[in-house]
Amino acid sequence: MSEADDYAVALRYRQPGDPAGSCGLPEVTAKGRGAIAAQILGIAAANGIPIERDPDLVTILEKLDVGSPIPTAAFAAVAEILAHLYRANATGQAAAGASRPEGGRP
Protein backbone atom coordinates (compact mmCIF):
# COMPACT_ATOMS: atom_id res chain seq x y z
CA MET A 1 0.00 0.00 0.00
CA SER A 2 1.51 3.30 -1.03
CA GLU A 3 1.34 6.39 1.14
CA ALA A 4 -1.39 7.78 -1.12
CA ASP A 5 -3.46 4.64 -0.49
CA ASP A 6 -2.65 4.55 3.23
CA TYR A 7 -6.14 5.60 4.32
CA ALA A 8 -9.53 4.01 3.61
CA VAL A 9 -13.06 5.15 4.37
CA ALA A 10 -16.14 2.96 4.01
CA LEU A 11 -19.55 4.50 3.31
CA ARG A 12 -23.08 3.15 3.57
CA TYR A 13 -26.14 4.63 1.95
CA ARG A 14 -29.64 3.69 3.05
CA GLN A 15 -32.56 5.15 1.20
CA PRO A 16 -34.95 7.31 3.24
CA GLY A 17 -37.60 5.10 4.81
CA ASP A 18 -35.22 2.15 5.23
CA PRO A 19 -36.32 0.34 8.42
CA ALA A 20 -32.68 0.27 9.60
CA GLY A 21 -32.88 4.05 9.84
CA SER A 22 -31.09 6.76 7.92
CA CYS A 23 -31.06 10.49 7.47
CA GLY A 24 -31.02 9.90 3.71
CA LEU A 25 -27.32 10.74 3.42
CA PRO A 26 -24.38 8.38 2.99
CA GLU A 27 -22.57 7.87 6.27
CA VAL A 28 -19.09 6.77 7.30
CA THR A 29 -19.16 3.17 8.56
CA ALA A 30 -15.42 2.51 8.93
CA LYS A 31 -12.15 4.33 8.48
CA GLY A 32 -8.53 3.66 9.14
CA ARG A 33 -4.90 3.99 8.18
CA GLY A 34 -2.27 1.36 7.38
CA ALA A 35 -3.27 -2.16 8.44
CA ILE A 36 -6.83 -1.09 9.23
CA ALA A 37 -7.15 0.49 5.77
CA ALA A 38 -5.89 -2.74 4.23
CA GLN A 39 -8.47 -4.68 6.27
CA ILE A 40 -11.30 -2.38 5.15
CA LEU A 41 -10.25 -2.83 1.51
CA GLY A 42 -9.89 -6.60 1.99
CA ILE A 43 -13.37 -6.94 3.50
CA ALA A 44 -14.86 -4.86 0.69
CA ALA A 45 -13.12 -6.95 -1.98
CA ALA A 46 -14.10 -10.25 -0.31
CA ASN A 47 -17.75 -9.17 -0.26
CA GLY A 48 -17.87 -7.87 -3.81
CA ILE A 49 -18.20 -4.26 -2.69
CA PRO A 50 -16.80 -1.91 -5.33
CA ILE A 51 -13.76 0.10 -4.31
CA GLU A 52 -13.36 3.64 -5.59
CA ARG A 53 -10.04 5.44 -5.15
CA ASP A 54 -10.41 9.19 -4.70
CA PRO A 55 -7.66 10.73 -2.54
CA ASP A 56 -9.36 14.16 -2.48
CA LEU A 57 -12.60 12.65 -1.19
CA VAL A 58 -10.75 10.58 1.41
CA THR A 59 -9.08 13.78 2.65
CA ILE A 60 -12.55 15.16 3.43
CA LEU A 61 -14.06 11.93 4.80
CA GLU A 62 -11.14 10.90 7.02
CA LYS A 63 -11.93 13.84 9.33
CA LEU A 64 -15.44 12.51 10.09
CA ASP A 65 -16.42 10.22 12.94
CA VAL A 66 -17.82 6.78 12.18
CA GLY A 67 -21.60 7.12 11.94
CA SER A 68 -21.40 10.69 10.65
CA PRO A 69 -23.24 11.67 7.47
CA ILE A 70 -21.08 13.05 4.68
CA PRO A 71 -20.61 16.83 4.60
CA THR A 72 -21.98 19.12 1.90
CA ALA A 73 -18.49 19.48 0.40
CA ALA A 74 -18.50 15.76 -0.45
CA PHE A 75 -22.00 15.53 -1.99
CA ALA A 76 -20.95 15.83 -5.63
CA ALA A 77 -18.13 13.29 -5.41
CA VAL A 78 -20.19 10.75 -3.45
CA ALA A 79 -23.20 11.24 -5.75
CA GLU A 80 -20.98 10.49 -8.74
CA ILE A 81 -19.73 7.29 -7.09
CA LEU A 82 -23.26 6.20 -6.14
CA ALA A 83 -24.50 6.85 -9.68
CA HIS A 84 -21.67 4.71 -11.06
CA LEU A 85 -22.54 1.91 -8.61
CA TYR A 86 -26.26 2.06 -9.43
CA ARG A 87 -25.48 1.84 -13.16
CA ALA A 88 -23.16 -1.12 -12.54
CA ASN A 89 -25.82 -2.87 -10.42
CA ALA A 90 -28.50 -2.27 -13.05
CA THR A 91 -26.24 -3.66 -15.77
CA GLY A 92 -25.47 -6.71 -13.64
CA GLN A 93 -29.13 -7.33 -12.85
CA ALA A 94 -30.09 -6.96 -16.51
CA ALA A 95 -27.42 -9.47 -17.50
CA ALA A 96 -28.58 -11.89 -14.79
CA GLY A 97 -32.21 -11.51 -15.91
CA ALA A 98 -31.27 -12.24 -19.50
CA SER A 99 -29.78 -15.58 -18.49
CA ARG A 100 -32.82 -16.66 -16.46
CA PRO A 101 -35.41 -19.09 -17.83
CA GLU A 102 -38.91 -17.92 -18.76
CA GLY A 103 -40.77 -16.52 -15.76
CA GLY A 104 -37.61 -14.90 -14.39
CA ARG A 105 -36.85 -17.66 -11.91
CA PRO A 106 -33.64 -19.64 -11.83
Strand partners, 27: 12, 69
pLDDT digits (tens, 9 = 90+) for 19-74: 665 567 788 999 999 999 999 999 999 998 888 888 888 888 888 999 998 877 77
Question: Does the predicted TM-score (pTM) go above 0.95?
Answer: no
Q: Is residue 19 part of a domain?
A: yes
**49 phi/psi in degrees, rounded to 5:** -85, 125
Q: Is residue 106 part of a domain?
A: no
Q: Is residue 26 part of a domain?
A: yes
Q: How many domains does the chain have?
A: 1
- 71-80 contacts: CB < 8 A, separation 24 or more? 78/11, 78/26
The domain of 13 spans 3-98
**Any idea what the CATH number is for the domain that residue 29 is in?**
3.40.1690.10
